[in-house]
Structure 1
Amino acid sequence: MGRQYIDCREFPSEMKCTVAISADSMDELVNAAVQHAITVHGHQDTPEFRSEITKVIHEMEPSRSVA
């Protein structure tokens, strides 16, 4: 599995957050996304919330060689 990401722009809010977070592992990405959601958006760290986070994670396309 390659690099994965989550993008706050997919979740419209009053603050219009434009943060995108990426990582090579699902655990690392979920942990970073949950910390962002807690500190910036006021969410609670619950198993249900973590489950919802995993549903909106995307696989990044591999980088293309420009040379």
Structure 2
Amino acid sequence: MTRKYIDCREFPSEMDCSVALSADSEGELLEAAVQHAVAVHKHADSPELRTQLKSLFHDGTPPIDAPRSA
């Protein structure tokens, strides 16, 4: 099983979020990413949000010094 991650540093935001999430399963990562997107970034939980988040998943673990988006 390949670990998966999503990293807010890859996406510009008003709050310059530096959170990276990882999990052993896509389902677990999706739930954590949705909770983060709703609670921190004030997105509404929707099928579209879940599809968008899943498209941003990477295999492996987040790099320690990921470059921030400009």
Q: Which residue of 2 aligns with 1:32?
A: 32
The aligned runs of 1:1-20 (5 Å cut-off) are 1-20=1-20
**CA drift at 1:14:** 1.3
- Bigger relative contact order (CA 8 A; separation at least 6): 2
Report the TM-score, using the length of structure 2 for normalisation: 0.83
Q: Which residue identity is paired with 2:34?
A: V
User: 3-state SS of the aligned residue for 1:5?
Assistant: strand
Q: Percent identity?
A: 59
Matched residues, number: 61
Q: List 4+ stretches of structure 1 deviating above 3 A.
A: none
Residue 51 (1) aligns with residue 63 (2): no
Quote the RMSD (CA, aligned, Å). Answer: 1.0
Unaligned runs of 5+ in 1: 62-67
Residue 60 (1) aligns with residue 60 (2): yes
Report the TM-score, using the length of structure 1 for normalisation: 0.87
Structure with max Cα Rg: 1
Kindly indicate which of the two structures has a greater share of residues assigned to helix.
1
Unaligned runs of 5+ in 2: 62-70
